[in-house]
Chains A and B, each alone.
Chain A
Amino acid sequence: MIALLGNLAILTAFGAAIWLVAAGAMASRDGVRSRLRTPVMVLVVAALAVFVLLEIAILTHDFSIAYVADNTATTTPFIFLLASGWAALEGSIVLWGVVLAVFTFLVWRRLLAVDQLGVLALAVMGGVAVFWFGLMATAGNPFSVCTAVSGEFCSASSWWPLADAVTPVVGRGPNPLLQNHILMAIHPPMLYIGYVGFTVPFAFAISALIRGDVGRAWLDRTHRWSMVAWIFLTFGILLGGWWSYEVLGWGGYWAWDPVENAAFLPWLTATAFIHSAVVQRKRGMLQSWNFVLVIATFSLTILGTFLTRSGVIASVHAFTQSGVGPALLMFLGLVVIGSLALFGLRARDVAQVPRLDSLVSREGFILANNLLLTVFAFTVLFGTMYPLIVQAVSGSDVAVGRPFFDRAAVPLALLLLLALAAGATAPWRIATGTVLWRRLRAAIAVGLAAGAVTVATGVRSLGVVITIVLAVTIIAEIVVRFTGVVAARGEGVVAAIGTVIGNDRGYWGGQLSHVGLALVAISLATTNGLAVRDVVTLAPGDTAVVGGYCVEYLEPFTSVEPNREVTGVRVAILEESCEDQLDVLEPRINTYAGGTQPVGTPAVWTGIRDDVYIGIAGGTAASVDLNVFVFPLQWMLWAGGLVVVAGGILAAARKPSRRVGTSDVVSVAGGGSGDV
Chain B
Amino acid sequence: MRRYAKFVIPALLLAAVLVVLMVNLSSALVYFNTPSEVLARDGGDARLRLGGRVVPGTVDETGVGVTFELEDCDVSVSVIHTGAPPQLFKEGIGVVVEGVWDGVAFESDTMLVKHDEQYRTDYEDYDEDSHACTS
Residues of chain A at the chain B interface (Cβ within 8 Å): 175-177, 249-250, 314, 316, 319-320, 371, 375, 378-379, 382-383, 386, 396-404, 407-408, 535, 589, 595-600, 615-618, 625, 627
Cβ 8 A contact of B87, one of A176, A400, A403, A618:
A618
- Find the B residue at minimum CB distance from A400: B28
- Find the B residue at minimum CB distance from A375: B17
Q: A378-B17, A379-B17, A408-B21 are in contact. List 10 more A-B contacts (CB 8 A).
A: A176-B115, A378-B21, A399-B29, A399-B49, A403-B27, A404-B25, A535-B84, A589-B87, A597-B116, A618-B87
Bound state CA distance, A408 and B30, in angstroms?
Answer: 17
Bound state CA distance, A319 and B21, in angstroms?
Answer: 31
Q: Does B135 contact A (CB under 8 A)?
A: no
Residues of chain B at the chain A interface (Cβ within 8 Å): 13, 17, 20-21, 24-25, 27-32, 47, 49, 83-89, 93, 98, 114-120, 122
Contacting residues, chain A, for B89 (C-beta < 8 A): 618
Where chain B touches its partner, the secondary structure class is loop
Contacting residues, chain A, for B84 (C-beta < 8 A): 535, 617-618, 625, 627
Shortest C-beta distance, A588 to chain B (Å), equals: 10
Bound state CA distance, A404 and B28, in angstroms?
Answer: 5
Across the interface, do A397 and B115 meet the contact criterion of CB distance under 8 Å?
no
Bound state CA distance, A330 and B25, in angstroms?
Answer: 28
Contacting residues, chain A, for B120 (C-beta < 8 A): 314
Bound state CA distance, A319 and B116, in angstroms?
Answer: 9
Across the interface, do A397 and B88 meet the contact criterion of CB distance under 8 Å?
no
Contacting residues, chain A, for B20 (C-beta < 8 A): 408
Contacting residues, chain B, for A383 (C-beta < 8 A): 25, 28
Across the interface, do A316 and B116 meet the contact criterion of CB distance under 8 Å?
yes
- Find the B residue at minimum CB distance from A595: B117
Contacting residues, chain B, for A320 (C-beta < 8 A): 118
Contacting residues, chain B, for A597 (C-beta < 8 A): 88, 93, 115-117
Contacting residues, chain A, for B117 (C-beta < 8 A): 595-597
Contacting residues, chain B, for A319 (C-beta < 8 A): 118
Contacting residues, chain B, for A408 (C-beta < 8 A): 20-21, 24
Contacting residues, chain A, for B17 (C-beta < 8 A): 375, 378-379
Cβ 8 A contact of A618, one of B24, B25, B85:
B85
Shortest C-beta distance, B119 to chain A (Å), equals: 7
Known: A314-B119, A378-B17, A399-B32. A598 touches B88 (CB 8 A): yes
Contacting residues, chain B, for A249 (C-beta < 8 A): 87
Of B17, B49, B85, B87, which is in contact with the most chain A CB atoms at under 10 Å from its CB? B87
Bound state CA distance, A175 and B117, in angstroms?
Answer: 9
Across the interface, do B29 and A398 meet the contact criterion of CB distance under 8 Å?
yes
Shortest C-beta distance, A157 to chain B (Å), equals: 17
Contacting residues, chain A, for B87 (C-beta < 8 A): 249, 589, 600, 615-618, 627
Across the interface, do B85 and A399 meet the contact criterion of CB distance under 8 Å?
no
- Find the B residue at minimum CB distance from A405: B28
Shortest C-beta distance, B25 to chain A (Å), equals: 6
Contacting residues, chain A, for B86 (C-beta < 8 A): 250, 600, 617
Across the interface, do A177 and B116 meet the contact criterion of CB distance under 8 Å?
yes
- Find the B residue at minimum CB distance from A379: B21
Across the interface, do A401 and B30 meet the contact criterion of CB distance under 8 Å?
yes
Across the interface, do B25 and A382 meet the contact criterion of CB distance under 8 Å?
yes
Task: Report 19 cross-chain contacts, Cβ distance below 8 Å, ordered by A residue.
Answer: A176-B115, A249-B87, A250-B86, A314-B120, A375-B17, A379-B17, A382-B21, A397-B31, A397-B122, A400-B25, A400-B28, A401-B30, A402-B28, A408-B21, A595-B117, A596-B116, A597-B116, A617-B85, A627-B84
Bound state CA distance, A615 and B32, in angstroms?
Answer: 28
Shortest C-beta distance, A75 to chain B (Å), equals: 17
Bound state CA distance, A382 and B24, in angstroms?
Answer: 11
Contacting residues, chain B, for A382 (C-beta < 8 A): 21, 25
Bound state CA distance, A625 and B87, in angstroms?
Answer: 9
Bound state CA distance, A596 and B122, in angstroms?
Answer: 20
- Find the B residue at minimum CB distance from A371: B13
Shortest C-beta distance, B68 to chain A (Å), equals: 13
Cβ 8 A contact of A398, one of B24, B32, B85:
B32
Shortest C-beta distance, A604 to chain B (Å), equals: 15
Bound state CA distance, A375 and B21, in angstroms?
Answer: 10
Contacting residues, chain A, for B98 (C-beta < 8 A): 401
